[in-house]
A and B are shown apart, each in its own frame.
Chain A
Amino acid sequence: MNKGKKITQQQLFLPVVCVLLVLAVNIFYDVSQGNEFYNFFKITLTNDVLQGRLINILNRGSEVAILAIGMTLVVSASAGTDISVGSVMSLCASFCCMLVAGYGVSSVSSPDEFAMPLVVGLLGALVMGLVCGAFNGALVAYLNIQPMVATLILWSAARAIGLLLCNNLIVYVRDDTFGLFGGYLGPIPTPILIAAVCVAATSLVLKKTALGMYVQSVGINKRASRIAGLNSQKIIFLCYLICGLCAGIAGIVASSRITSADSNNIGLNMELDAILAVALGGNSLGGGKFSLAGSIIGAYTIQAITTTMYNLGVSTEVAPVFKAVVVIVIVAIQAPPVRAWFKKRAAAKAVQKGVASV
């Protein structure tokens, strides 16, 4: 009994249950359609690449997972959300393609036509992400502006600047090397690998250094941390910097998938998915303690929900309705009053049992 209680009170309990529920829906659907129940998990090697719904979810969910890393840190340290990540993704993608293709050129198809080597473009995108992160970070950390308002500026401006950089065109970089980042490395989809590397690197840094503890400490009480000798402002700034970098990486992956920079559509509403991932992971949006693993699971849960929707034959436009319902139910279960109510009921039951045994 004690053991069971411990499991339900763990932070990762709810996110994992959510994933399992989504999977259960899939299995139920497969069985009702007369397929084998393991259809969802089936991974096949077709045309030398891995295929299957599970792979698809992992692949398509990479961008949100990468964004969720940065978002988790930002939410934890500053008790606010960075709503500019989607736009910054678009800006980084545009900047990358603009550097490679040259200003005003709408399409390049081989390395001979490149205005600059691909590496410069990729580095440019990452630097652009860092610059955006630094801008947000400076506003939040040093000017004490509420995170949502501060990032509202780039939310509105970044996509527009991206459009200006691309001269209002969709810039195509039709090159295999560029397409690699959103394509396949051997049999495995590259975005999965990129996301895995990002997650591994971040968790290594958080584990091996005290950064994770500092971030949580600043998030729980900024003033107390400062008095304890932490440079709160610098830590918050650093979190936004990392978030910007993550947006840059996600931008490269997203534009590489379509080997072009579509400023209007890359990263559209992605900031909402990233924030949702953090919330689904059982992290409080009020800052403080965080769980990176929870956020990553949250990110893939969102993608799993989306893929399941398509699997059930729900159209792209209608899918948000179900997404909204799922989100509200999941968040409501985690809401403090509901939790308190559950606890009360469990306590009452325990008392009843106690009375009965006596």
Chain B
Amino acid sequence: MKTVSLGKPKSQMNSNTLLLLITIVLFFVLYAIGCVVYGERGFTNLQTFLNVLRSNAGLICVACGMTCVMLTGGIDISVGSLVALDCMLLAYGMANWGLSAPVMCLLVLVIGVVFGLVQGYCVGYLEIQPFIVTMAGMFFARGMTAVISTDQLSINQDVSQAFYDVANHRIYFPFGGVVNRAGKVVMPYIGVGVVIALAVLVAIFLVLRYTKFGRSLYAVGGSEQSAAMMGLDVKRTKLKAYVLSSLLCSIGGICYCMNTMSASVSQATGLEMDAIASAVIGGTLLTGGVGNVIGSFFGVLINGTISSIVQFNGKLASSWPNILTAALLCFFIVLQSVFAKLKEKNK
């Protein structure tokens, strides 16, 4: 009797950890392939890896938020448009309203929270399907971006010296330098965005693992009814999840803006699907209750590695990253389904 009750959670843990492990191994395999094939073009440099991080800092934040929402069994497809709105607000606000960079960043975060509150209220308290709510949010954010400005804006030193400095600030590593063509030693570096993204990642990991809120996200996703019977406020938890997602999305938007230093209406289209794909590749189930931000992080890294391999090749058509990511997604989804079937058989 005792062995049965002990054995069950263990085997469940195993299949989920195994999925995460496969994701991590796959990332290293992909990276190794890149190193072997494009080693002489500099793929082995530490900077190549750091560039993947730099260009995906925003996506890491967004994917963390997406994971939290997906844990509750929901989805948030408004993130891409919200990032575009954030970038536009930052660029336009600093240039035309004469507000300083910190004030604008704060405003962006506040808007993120308000956005999340509205969406969360609709999903949690009005019980509208998350897909529909966040789709409306997506239209709204993209439209508001156009209301602010339909031009392609760029953030340069004239717009905001402070933002420019922070965005271009390089944090150098004390090791791993490479001698460039001019004979100078170039140290690998990361930007402020990467630091923010990694801080967010660690924070969300800890929140999900050790706080009451984090655990209740899993509980609600696992079974709403059971969660309600345990005395959890399901509606409130859902509301909080969407607020968290939109807030992280706004932080991601700032990181994204630091990377692109520009804003336009069509910016970050399809980012929501990148975030969802990353989370799914990382082992988060769309039905809720299963997942981890570490997995999503590696999902983002896999996405980034594929794009940088295609970039290093230089000859492949620009649509290949999409196709490869989709193929990977297919592989992982089938794998998950096979695991689920095996689990059912063991029962």
Contacts and interface: CB of A to CB of B under 8 A. Distances in A.
Contact of B322 (A144, A156, A275): A156
Contacts of B273: 152, 155-156
Nearest to A273: B135
A287 to B, nearest CB: 11
A327 B78 CA distance: 14
Given A315-B146, A321-B143, A328-B133, A156 B127 contact: no
A156 B144 CA distance: 26
Which interface residue of A152, A164, A320, A321 has the most chain B CB atoms within 10 A?
A: A320
Contact of A331 (B128, B143, B150, B341): B128
Contacts of B340: 144
A285 B133 CA distance: 12
Given A315-B146, A337-B125, A156 B135 contact: no
A325 B140 CA distance: 7
Given A153-B326, A317-B265, A320-B142, A276 B132 contact: yes
Q: Sort chain B's interface into a size bin.
A: 35 or more
B320 interface: yes
B318 A337 contact: no
A272 B135 contact: yes
A318 interface: yes
B325 interface: yes
Contacts of A338: 126
A17 interface: no
A164 B323 contact: yes
Interface in A215-235: none
B275 to A, nearest CB: 11
Contacts of A328: 122, 128, 133, 136
Contact residues of B: prevailing secondary structure:
helix
A152 B139 contact: no
Contact of A276 (B135, B285, B329): B135
Contact of A157 (B131, B150, B280, B323): B323
A148 B75 contact: yes
A279 B334 CA distance: 29
A11 to B, nearest CB: 17
A324 B323 contact: no
Contacts of A335: 126-128
Contacts of A327: 132, 135-136, 139
B323 A161 contact: yes
A143 interface: yes
A272 to B, nearest CB: 5
B36 interface: no
Contacts of B126: 332, 335, 337-338
Given A146-B286, A336-B127, A275 B135 contact: yes
Contacts, number: 134
Contact of A160 (B138, B142, B144, B320): B320
Given A143-B334, A164-B317, A332-B126, A156 B326 contact: yes
B280 A324 contact: no
Contacts of B317: 163-164, 168
Contacts of A285: 129, 131-132
Nearest to B326: A157
Given A160-B323, A163-B319, A317 B129 contact: no
B122 A332 contact: yes
A335 B130 CA distance: 12
A135 B143 CA distance: 34
Contacts of A153: 326, 329-330, 333
A285 B320 CA distance: 33
B139 A321 contact: yes
Contacts of B319: 159-161, 163-164, 168
Contacts of A170: none
A318 B146 contact: yes
Nearest to B321: A160
Given A146-B286, A160-B320, A319 B333 contact: no
Contacts of B133: 328, 331
A323 B341 CA distance: 42
A319 B150 CA distance: 13
Interface string A162-202: 01100010000000000000000000000000000000000
Contact of B147 (A168, A321, A323): A321
Contacts of B139: 320-321, 323-324, 327
B228 interface: no
Given A143-B334, A164-B319, A156 B329 contact: yes
A272 B286 CA distance: 18
A325 B141 CA distance: 11
Interface string A300-321: 0000000000000001011111
A324 B136 CA distance: 4
Contacts of A54: none
B277 A156 contact: yes
A146 B127 contact: no
A145 B277 CA distance: 14
A321 B140 contact: yes
A326 to B, nearest CB: 9
A149 interface: yes
B127 A337 contact: yes
Interface string B137-170: 1111011101100100000000000000000000
A120 B252 CA distance: 47
A275 B144 CA distance: 22
A272 B340 CA distance: 30
23 contacts: A139-B333, A143-B334, A144-B337, A144-B341, A146-B286, A146-B287, A153-B329, A153-B333, A156-B277, A157-B322, A163-B317, A164-B319, A275-B132, A275-B135, A276-B135, A279-B129, A317-B146, A317-B150, A317-B265, A321-B147, A324-B139, A328-B133, A335-B126
Given A139-B334, A279-B132, 12 more contacts: A145-B337, A153-B330, A154-B326, A156-B322, A164-B317, A285-B131, A286-B129, A323-B139, A323-B143, A324-B143, A327-B135, A336-B127
Q: Which 6 A-B pairs have the closest CB atoms?
A: A321-B143, A317-B146, A157-B326, A160-B319, A160-B322, A320-B143
